[in-house]
C-alpha cells in the first residue's frame, strides 16, 4: 500500500495539478495549515476526479513554523507501508510514476528510503544550476518506508534515516513562485521562520554577516554553481535567494537585539 502526504496552505492554484498526479496512490493524506482560500473546497469538490480512486483524508493542523513536525504528523496518519511526500506545488510525471510503481512491486528491493531528483520549472526555464543544482542532481528523500526514520528541521526540513537510501532515476516536477510577487512573499515568510529557528539555536547576526553572507551566496550560486547558464531566470533566481539570505540575517539581528 502506498500513501501520499501533501502539505497545504492556500494552494488553490496548484492543488488540482498536484493531486491529479497522485491517482496511483492508495490514499492521500492532506495536512492543511488552515487555508483561507479555495484549497479545501477544490479537494472536496465532487467534480474532482482523483477522488474516484485514492481515499483522501484532510487533517487541519497549525504549522507553527515547524515543517518537520507537519510532515511527521502526516507520516503517523499514513497507513501505507510506503509513504510518498510531495508539496502542493509539485507533481509526479508519468515516468516517475511508472518507476515508483515498478519499484514497489519488486520484492527484491533493499533500500528503505529513496532520493527523488527534482527539476524546478520557473519562467519557462528548467532550472538546472545554482541554488537548484543539488536537488536537480542528487534529489531529496521523498519516498520512505514506514518507521524508517523521521523529518528534522523546522525550515528546510530533511528526512533522516540510519538505513540504506537509494535513488530514483526520474524527476519530480516543481512549479514554484509563478510570479516575482509570489517569490517575494514566500521569501519574506520563509526568512522569518528561518531567522527564528536560528535564534532558537543560539546563532547571532551582525553587520558583517548581513552584508557578506548574501553577497557570497550570490557569487557561489551564479558563478561557481553556474547559475548563469540558466539565463535571465538563473540570474533572478540567484538574486532572490541571496535576498532571502539578507532578510534572514537582518531579521535575526533584529530578533536578538530586541530581547
Q: What is the DSSP string of 62-100?
A: --TT-HHHHHHHHHHH--SSEEEEEETTEEE-HHHHHHH
CA gap 74, 77 in Å, rounded: 5
- pLDDT of 242 higher than 70: yes
- Torsion over CA: 61, 66, 69, 71 (sign): positive
Looking up cell 543560539, which residue turns up?
A: 202
pLDDT of 237 higher than 60: yes
| Range from 18-27, 40-49, 69-78 carrying the lowest mean pLDDT | 40-49
Closest CA to 241 of 129, 131, 91: 131
Do the Cβ atoms of 152 and 207 come closer than 8 Å?
no
Crossing angle for the helix pair 180-200 and 231-258, to the nearest 10 degrees: 40
pLDDT for residue 144 is more than 60: yes
pLDDT the model gives residue 47: 57
Judged against a pLDDT cut of 60, whether residue 46 lies above it is answered with no
* Inter-residue contact 214 to 243 (CB < 8 Å): yes
User: Among residues of the chain, what percentage have pLDDT more than 70?
Assistant: 96
CA distance 218 to 140: 23
52 pLDDT band (50/70/90 cuts)?
low
Query: What would the pLDDT profile of 152-201 be if each residue is shown by its tens digit?
Result: 999 989 999 999 999 999 999 999 988 899 999 999 999 999 999 999 99
Mean pLDDT to the nearest integer, 51-77: 91
pLDDT of residue 44: 87
Q: Is the pLDDT of residue 203 over 80?
A: yes
pTM for the model stands at: 0.93
Residue 48: per-residue pLDDT: 54
CB-facing half-sphere around the CA of 107: CA atoms within 13 A: 0
Give how far the C-alpha of residue 196 lies from the chain's centroid of Cα atoms, to the nearest Å: 19
**Average pLDDT taken over every residue of the chain:** 94
pLDDT of residue 45: 81
- Walk me through the domains of the chain, giving residue ranges and CATH numbers: 2-174 (3.90.550.10), 180-258 (no CATH)
Spatial contact of 169 and 143, defined as CB atoms under 8 Å apart: no
pLDDT in tens, 106-131: 866 779 999 999 999 998 899 999 99
**Beta bridge mates, 158:** 152
What integer is the mean pLDDT of 3-19?
96
Cell 519562467 found at: 123
Q: How many percent of the chain have pLDDT more than 90?
A: 88
Amino acid at each position: 500500500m502506498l500513501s501520499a502526504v501533501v502539505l497545504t496552505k492556500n494552494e488553490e492554484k496548484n492543488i488540482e495539478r498536484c493531486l491529479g498526479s497522485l491517482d496511483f496512490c492508495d490514499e492521500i493524506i492532506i495536512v492543511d495549515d488552515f487555508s483561507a482560500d479555495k484549497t479545501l473546497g477544490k479537494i472536496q469538490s465532487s467534480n474532482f476526479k482523483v477522488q474516484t480512486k485514492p481515499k483522501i483524508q484532510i487533517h487541519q493542523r497549525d504549522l507553527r513554523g515547524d515543517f518537520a513536525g507537519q510532515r511527521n504528523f502526516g507520516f503517523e496518519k499514513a497507513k501505507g507501508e510506503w509513504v510518498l511526500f510531495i508539496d502542493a506545488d509539485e507533481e509526479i510525471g508519468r515516468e516517475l510514476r511508472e518507476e515508483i510503481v515498478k519499484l514497489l512491486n519488486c520484492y527484491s528491493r533493499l533500500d528503505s528510503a529513496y532520493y527523488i531528483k527534482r527539476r524546478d520549472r520557473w519562467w519557462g526555464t528548467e532550472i538546472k544550476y545554482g541554488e537548484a543544482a543539488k536537488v536537480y542532481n542528487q534529489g531529496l528523500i521523498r519516498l520512505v518506508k514506514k518507521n524508517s526514520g523521521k523529518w528534522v528541521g523546522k525550515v528546510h526540513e530533511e528526512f533522516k534515516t540510519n538505513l540504506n537510501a537509494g535513488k530514483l532515476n526520474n524527476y519530480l516536477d516543481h512549479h514554484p513562485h509563478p510570479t516575482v510577487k509570489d517569490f517575494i512573499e514566500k521569501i519574506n515568510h520563509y526568512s522569518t521562520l528561518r531567522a527564528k529557528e536560528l535564534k532558537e539555536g543560539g546563532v547571532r547576526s551582525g553587520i558583517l554577516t548581513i552584508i557578506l553572507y548574501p553577497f557570497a551566496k550570490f557569487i557561489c550560486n551564479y558563478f561557481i554553481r553556474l547559475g548563469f547558464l540558466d539565463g535571465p531566470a538563473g540570474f533572478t533566481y540567484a538574486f532572490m535567494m541571496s535576498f532571502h539570505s539578507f532578510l534572514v540575517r537582518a531579521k535575526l539581528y533584529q530578533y536578538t537585539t530586541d530581547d
